[in-house]
Amino acid sequence: MSSVLPSSPADRFVGGRETPWLVFLAGFAAMYGPVYVNAARGLWQSDDHAHGALVLVVIVWLFWRIHRQLIDLPSKPAPIAGALLFGLGLFVYVVGRVVGISILEMGSQPLVVAGALLLMRGPAALRLAWFPILYFIFMIPLPGFLVDAITGPLKQWISAIVVELLYHLGYPISRTGVMITVGKYEMLVADACSGLHSMYSLSALGTLFMYIMARARPLHNALMVASILPIAFAANIVRVIILVLITYHLGDEAGQGFLHGFAGMVLMLVALVGFFALDTLLARLLPGRAAAAPGAP
């Protein structure tokens, strides 16, 4: 008489479909673990790039949502395309590590992950994981020349709008460039308050919002995409208005202290409310069922 002993979880795991993924995850952690540690100690400590850590958490969550589907996909690798993407990603990573350029270090991640998915499972895996891979873009620091070129005009526009609005509400306010004078206080509109970095982080928020809502109508999605930057711009205006009012009514220390950080939370909240409001309005004007996002139950 023969008997078949039930396999243990370890027996099913070792040599199973999960093993190649574990190997890749171990290699990815060895490559990018030091990059994340360095970013946590430096880059992500600044106001301009503080969203990077949150983006990493979101990416981990996005991949976790679809990890079982990725593992269960039939293996139909695309070796040539996969090797090219993976090799290019490794090259960019090595150059970034040697030269110490964070844009290259972070920018190599979507190439490495996309290449690995093509090598292990093929194009179907790439189609399934397209959004988490795309989301790596929001971890990449923006080039300095681009920030300088765009942030200057943004600050000018936001400063002018804030002064115009508050002046018509009766506040003693004026501006010279990006220097706002309200009552006896002078405020410099800083890059962190109304620059490209805040627009970048809010774009990450808006993109994630769209992915989670997963609206089926192309027109709905197109209008939401087009609204991301205007909503981010409006949220920055609200933030600067709050800082000006705090400074005018409570003093300079309040404006530059704890309430300054609170205004940053307001920035995200205003943008999120804007996304929800527009999405709800479009859902009523353009009725249609929501498509389930990958990994959703």
pLDDT (tens digit per residue) in 111-164: 999 999 999 999 999 999 999 999 999 999 887 777 667 777 888 888 889 999
What is the helix (H) or strand (E) element at residue 175, kind and residue range? strand 173-176
The vertex-204 CA angle with 199 and 206, nearest 5°, equals 90
Q: Which long-range contacts (CB under 8 A, 24 or more apart) does 43-47 make?
A: 43/102, 43/141, 47/192, 47/197, 47/264
Provide the mean pLDDT of the chain: 83
Distance CA 274, CA 22 (A): 40
> pTM of this prediction?
0.79
Please check whether residue 184 is in contact with residue 172, taking contact to mean a CB–CB distance below 8 angstroms: no
Q: Range with the lowest mean pLDDT among 72-86, 190-204, 218-232?
A: 190-204
What percent of the chain has a predicted confidence (pLDDT) above 70?
A: 83
State yes or no: pLDDT of 293 exceeds 60: no
What is the helix (H) or strand (E) element at residue 82, kind and residue range? helix 79-99
For residue 2, what pLDDT band results from cuts at 50, 70 and 90? very low
Mapped onto helix, strand or coil, the DSSP state of residue 2 is coil
Query: Tokens 């950080």 appear where?
Result: 261
pLDDT of residue 261: 61
State yes or no: pLDDT of 90 exceeds 90: yes
For residue 214, what pLDDT band results from cuts at 50, 70 and 90? confident
Please check whether residue 66 is in contact with residue 132, taking contact to mean a CB–CB distance below 8 angstroms: yes
Distance from chain centroid for Cα 179: 30
List CB contacts of 253: < 8 A, sequence separation 6 or more.
none
What number of other Cβ atoms are within 10 A of residue 119's Cβ? 21
Distance CA 243, CA 167 (A): 15
- Which of 274, 144, 105 shows the shortest CA–CA distance to 203? 274
Q: Note the pLDDT tens digit of each residue in 92-112.
A: 999 999 998 899 999 999 999
User: For the residues of 10-64, what is the DSSP string, one character each?
Assistant: HHHHTTSTTHHHHHHHHHHHHHHHHHHHHHHHTGGGSGGGTHHHHHHHHHHHHHH
Catalytic residue positions?
193, 239
For residue 194, what pLDDT band results from cuts at 50, 70 and 90? low
Q: Note the pLDDT tens digit of each residue in 38-65.
A: 999 988 887 677 788 889 999 999 999 9
Please check whether residue 152 is in contact with residue 195, taking contact to mean a CB–CB distance below 8 angstroms: no
> Angle 196-213/51-72 helices, nearest 10 degrees?
30
